[in-house]
Chains A and B, each alone.
Chain A
């Protein structure tokens, strides 16, 4: 009977805190969605052409490259690392693909598949070196990918003398501009990739390990997870995804440019963080990143529609990023507070029930 009393008191007491916790945690993940809704509402009011099907599809095409890179970045950030090389890696991959395509090497010449493969292998190669340096030598990924960022930029500029390459595979250009029905293929590729990433992160063992490593490295190590391997995989994955994005970007632009994709780095990081991921690792998900990407896409497109000063968009992006960071930290604090309250309730409940048991025991004797 005492046991029953304990249970009911426990659940009643915790029930209250449970509700609060859930609410607070939701508030944290709801904030990006609310921001997005507010932006959409704002732009559709000030610019009549904003909320039209062609414009929305246009946004989808604009953000698909960013979406890929941010997807890769999500893995890295979840593992508690950072990849500063994504933008330059993408540019480099595009250039290498174009150079291989235009080269006289057998197999590569005029072959879009092998050229793309070479470009992605190059990205994977640099990613592996970075991964090795980070995991085996223990250099922080911030520093190691900073080096990789300069190296990939250097390779791009040395190979091209900073000149863009205009002869690119027509099939690639087709992909870049083609639409299925009215939906851009690039958008479909991005959606497909992000869905795949989501499935990996949420349902696979690899995904669990990424969260585990990012959330608590020591604990991950102690339960026998090969932390180095997970970190390495995430860095290589991000490099490869950046490479693919770079090649697709060549298709979108119809030429291999040596400049102009620098914003990819900041935007992809911003998308991940705005989406609620913690830069310390272990917290975040693809859904959040998607919302982050959409916010950036809507912001870019909407400001252009308003014919606002091009440079003002950085200001807005910065403010939204700052807001996201503040909300993230607040929601973490609120969650910790709610957990404390739940624990306190538990103590009190235990003691209450102890009293009840003692009292009933006294009555019996």
Chain B
């Protein structure tokens, strides 16, 4: 393995790092001498612990990014869908041992570019070179075999198999008789997980795992394939803070091993923190490729949006925590609530018109709590009080009669994708709309009303939900509850996987709903979501509430403390 930095001793006045070319240790060493001799001032080199000669100082010699031979070169890539140009003349190169992020707004061409690199799109203009040779992958399988693999936003796991089996899926280890060696598989998977910094049982069924764990399993699988180029598409969307940190340290380890990581994310702070270089796309064109160390958040946003500088943070706290109107007493109260196997002795109070955040890692009981409130699970003990009266809710139908709404984490669980926006919304109001016969015009007008209230784009209630972007789908899922406002609206990960603009739009709508006196319960593993939307937060760990953060304590630091 090649060490990334060598410590040299140089005379004062030299910069602290030197950029060097070469990918092999030998190359590096052979370059040190002439470089040092010629470039002046480099006196001698020693190991990390060697004493510093008088007048000398330690400098690091690093691989020069620019001098390395790219593993992938994309030359003038153009991709059209019908009359629409998704990518126009984009040239990028990806080097070994770098984390290269691709950023841009939704539809800027990030996914299209990645899909071309990974062999998903086979029809495109321009040239792709892999390890110096021109290639044209005919399928994702071909790209995988060459060493380019992708971890997509959607999760491609078999829920009924164990984590180990999923990691080894399609490549199960077997002995000479063709018998699968389960033990070896289990051990190797366990080791793989240890490298990912996860203390998980590899024999665990995936369907029993939290979303975050599933995502990591998928990354583990791609790593196991021995890919040299790994594409991560929004990998941190479902991860908790600690899981995310584990992922990042893993990525830097992979980089040390010489792997190329292509990273796509909307979370620009993350991107700047972990990337070596960042390529910005806008409207299918490449705006620039910049070194992460040389670009600030603001200038990056400026490049992405093309001049309209609006920091995503600016309005973050303005609406939250201040609006106190209409808060008179508790809407929902839980006393000593337990869900067998998931939740233990939780107390909470939800006030009218407040947004209560439930924060913690995936699988810490927040979901169990809200699902039980909505009648999807049963409380094994405890008391739930709605406006002071004890209620027993045994089904979602009953919960919605009590005025409790629910927007699940996975939008495909909330919507009929092939049905129109209007139908998706009106389905909740059918009992009120009609005794027997449903009039299409009623459905349509309900749809139109919600589309206008929620600013759904396209503003056409007849459009199938399938054609909407993630943010707009979420507006429909939330919009279903706004015509007849519920007392309590439960939202799980309301902005999961959305870009900056869509997120802001959804958060705005949630605030509007809250101002109308609706109490929100927002479940999230992402502290930013809690900060953006909530007045108050409960922190969960292992099925218990470990902290309550009142508005004044609701800061990223405090949340991270418990994450």
Contact = CB atoms under 8 A, between A and B. Distances in A.
Nearest to A362: B307
Given A205-B438, A347-B106, A348-B84, A339 B467 contact: yes
A207 to B, nearest CB: 8
A124 to B, nearest CB: 22
A110 interface: no
Nearest to A14: B458
From B84, B413, B469, residue with most partner A Cβ within 10 Å: B84
A352 B283 contact: yes
Contacts of B283: 348, 351-352, 355
Contacts of A14: 458
B361 to A, nearest CB: 23
Interface string B109-124: 0000000000000000
A219 B107 CA distance: 28
Interface in A343-358: 343-348, 350-352, 354-355, 358
A345 B84 contact: yes
Interface string A203-243: 11101110110011011111111100000000000000000
Contacts of B204: none
Given A224-B397, A347-B106, A208 B438 contact: yes
A204 B437 contact: yes
Contacts of B468: 343
A15 to B, nearest CB: 11
B428 interface: yes
Interface in B387-434: 395-397, 399-401, 406, 408, 412-419, 423, 427-428, 430-431, 433-434
A350 B413 contact: no
B408 A222 contact: yes
Contact of A13 (B84, B307, B417, B423): B84
Contacts of A348: 84-86, 107, 283-284
Nearest to A346: B458
Contacts of A297: none
**Interface of chain B: mostly helix, strand, loop or mixed:** loop
A355 B306 contact: yes
B400 A10 contact: no
A155 interface: no
Contacts of B177: none
Contacts of A205: 430-431, 433-438
B13 interface: no
Interface in B435-458: 435-438, 457-458
Nearest to B404: A224
Nearest to B434: A205
A355 B374 CA distance: 44
A10 B418 contact: no
B107 A351 contact: yes
From A224, A343, A345, A351, residue with most partner B Cβ within 10 Å: A224
Contacts of B480: 223
A179 B423 CA distance: 43
A252 interface: no
A127 interface: no
Contact of A223 (B86, B419, B427): B427
A205 B457 CA distance: 28
Nearest to A17: B82
A284 interface: no
Given A221-B396, A224-B399, A351 B467 contact: no
Nearest to A344: B81
A216 B416 CA distance: 6
B308 interface: yes
Contact of A350 (B307, B457, B467): B457
From B395, B396, B423, residue with most partner A Cβ within 10 Å: B396
A204 B431 CA distance: 11
A178 interface: no
B301 interface: no
B423 to A, nearest CB: 8
Contact of B81 (A212, A222, A226, A341): A341
B464 interface: yes
B86 A344 contact: yes
A304 B154 CA distance: 52
A153 interface: no
Given A343-B467, A344-B86, A346-B467, A224 B105 contact: no
Contacts of A283: 418
B466 A216 contact: no
A16 interface: yes
A223 B478 CA distance: 11
B82 A341 contact: yes
A318 B510 CA distance: 53
A207 B439 CA distance: 12
B306 A212 contact: no
Nearest to B305: A354
B539 interface: no
A342 interface: yes
B467 A342 contact: yes
B179 interface: no
A81 B458 CA distance: 34
Contacts of A354: 306, 308
Given A14-B458, A16-B82, A342-B467, A203 B437 contact: yes
B108 interface: yes
A360 to B, nearest CB: 13
A282 interface: yes
Contact of A208 (B108, B376, B427, B435): B427
Interface in B276-334: 282-284, 306-308
A351 B284 CA distance: 10
Nearest to B104: A351
From A14, A335, A343, A352, residue with most partner B Cβ within 10 Å: A343
B105 A223 contact: no
A82 B341 CA distance: 34
Given A212-B427, A219-B416, A224-B428, A203 B107 contact: no
Interface in A143-196: none
B83 interface: yes
B466 A336 contact: yes
B96 to A, nearest CB: 32
From B107, B423, B428, residue with most partner A Cβ within 10 Å: B107
A204 B107 contact: no
A16 B438 CA distance: 31
Contacts of B419: 211, 215
Interface in B477-514: 480
B106 A225 contact: no
A218 B374 CA distance: 13
A347 B281 CA distance: 14
Contacts of A345: 81-82, 84
Nearest to A12: B83
19 contacts: A10-B458, A14-B458, A204-B437, A205-B436, A208-B423, A208-B430, A215-B416, A216-B415, A218-B414, A220-B427, A222-B396, A224-B396, A225-B397, A226-B395, A282-B416, A346-B107, A347-B107, A351-B105, A351-B107
Interface of B: 81-86, 105-108, 282-284, 306-308, 374, 376, 395-397, 399-401, 406, 408, 412-419, 423, 427-428, 430-431, 433-438, 457-458, 464, 466-469, 480
**Nearest 7 pairs of A and B residues by beta carbon:** A347-B107, A224-B400, A339-B466, A224-B397, A218-B413, A342-B467, A215-B416
Given A339-B466, A343-B467, A348-B107, 14 more contacts: A10-B458, A14-B458, A208-B438, A209-B430, A212-B427, A215-B416, A216-B412, A224-B400, A344-B84, A344-B107, A346-B469, A347-B106, A347-B107, A351-B108
